[in-house]
Amino acid sequence: MSEQTGSGGLNEYIKHHLTHNTTEVFGGQFHFDSWIVALALGLVFVLWFGLAARKATAGVPSKGQAFVEMIVEFIDGQVKDTFHGDRRSVTPLALTIFMWVVFMNTMDLLPLDLFGWLVHTTAGAEAAHHTYFRAVPTADLNTTFALSASVFFILIGHAISAKGGLGFGKELVTAPFHAHGFMQIVLVPVNLAMNIIEWLVKPVSLAMRLFGNMYGGELVFMLIAGLLGSVYTFVPGVLANAAWAIFHILIILLQAFIFMILTVVYIAGARESH
């Protein structure tokens, strides 16, 4: 970090750390770093909770089992308070979203130059200078939009499951402005436009909220890192970095919780009739 900051300045340092490790796929740029980190963390979650479920006992639980049970009970309690239907499929979805987003957000607490240092140590300074790797998938708009798009299609599935295809289609053109006779036909395009906007706002707001908070937190870490490049600002930089990291833990957990709870709220709303 200090070498890059000293040679190219803070602007170049930040630009380097905001550049994704990309590969070309179907003529477009694919963010390999976000994908591989998100995939690895998702597999860690599945492996951890899968093994905990297989080893669960009816007697006195181990500390690991008790911790997993505490998380599951917390998520199930939140779903129960928000969604008043059959939650057998909703709770696992909420648990997966919460834990996966927490894992991805937590990558922001890793040392900013950890991956650059690993490349520098194994392959040299030149390789490190031309190697880019962003370790926080949720600071990538592609990741957050992929998550919210998945939620969007799940919402559509719940709406069709609860109301049927014809019932869902009818609701799109007859609500929220109900009418009868000729006025019902006149209001069809208005109702349809309103419902399209309402449905599209949900995934967009989910994606932008998570991305904005994590991207902003990542930028603050980079700006604080600029203080560490000087002897005179090193101690204030360490203190500021530690203070922001402690505060950022709250942001990490809160953003995962908000994404999860809004998903459950949207599912409950999708199954209700206007």
* Beta-carbon count within 10 A of 114 CB: 11
**Tokens 């006992």 sit on residue:** 57
- Please identify which of the residues 21, 142, 195, 209 carries the catalytic annotation: 209
Q: Judge whether 209 counts as a catalytic residue.
A: yes
- Please identify which of the residues 105, 148, 213, 241 carries the catalytic annotation: 213
- Please identify which of the residues 7, 11, 62, 205 carries the catalytic annotation: 205
For residue 59, what are the contacts with CB-CB under 8 A and spacing of at least 6? none
Q: Which residues are bridge partners to 29 per DSSP?
A: 24
For residue 48, what are the contacts with CB-CB under 8 A and spacing of at least 6? 68
The alpha carbon of 38 is separated from its chain's Cα centroid by a whole number of angstroms, namely 10
Q: Give me the active site residues, please.
A: 205, 209, 213
